Amino acid sequence: MAKNPKQSKTLPIYILNGPNLNLLGHREPEVYGTTTLAQIEAMCAAQAKSHGLAIVFRQSNREGEIVDHLQEARTSGSAVIINPAGYGHTSIAILDSIQALQLPVIEVHLSNIHRREPYRNHSYVSKGATGIVMGLGAQGYLRAVDAVAEILKVKT
């Protein structure tokens, strides 16, 4: 497990969320569901706790701020779960930051991007991700937490 020598426990999982995810529960519920981002955060915290893990949960509409969070996770986290939202289809900067992490990364999408508009069918983030969970709505975040917990357990 990724550990800081000054700590005896595993570093937190960084769960990062891209643009417009702050509008979950209100924006296009037929696509993204009715669960709010605050509810997803609470669900993820509980799921991580069930594995003996903690989370750092963040959302930003700004690409550079997401890059900053990824760089912070590099030394302060044990893994990253990221829903890059629209930046998944456009951001080489986020991909570069993910590739510099040397941590497990699980990409999450609430919807199945391969069943959506053609411009959403490609994700740059996927190239740097350890794994991808998509099309499961808010439950996808929980499956990603489970996957990270299993990956971290294997590394011990």
**CA proximity to 18, closest of 64, 70, 67, 85:** 85
Mean pLDDT, residues 43-56: 98
The reported pLDDT for the residue numbered 63 is: 98
- Residue 105 pLDDT > 50: yes
Task: Considering only residues 9 and 60, tell me which one the structure prediction assigns the higher pLDDT.
Answer: 60
Which of the following is catalytic: 14, 32, 124, 141?
A: 32
109 is annotated as an active-site residue: yes
Max intra-chain CA distance, the chain: 47
CB count within 10 Å of CB 149 equals 20
* pLDDT, tens digit, 9 for 90 and up, residues 132-146: 999 999 999 999 999
Which of the following is catalytic: 14, 69, 87, 109?
A: 109
Q: Are strands 131-134 and 55-59 parallel, antiparallel or unpaired?
A: unpaired
DSSP 143: H
Percent of the chain with pLDDT over 70: 94
What domains, with CATH codes, occur in the chain? Answer: 13-155 (3.40.50.9100)
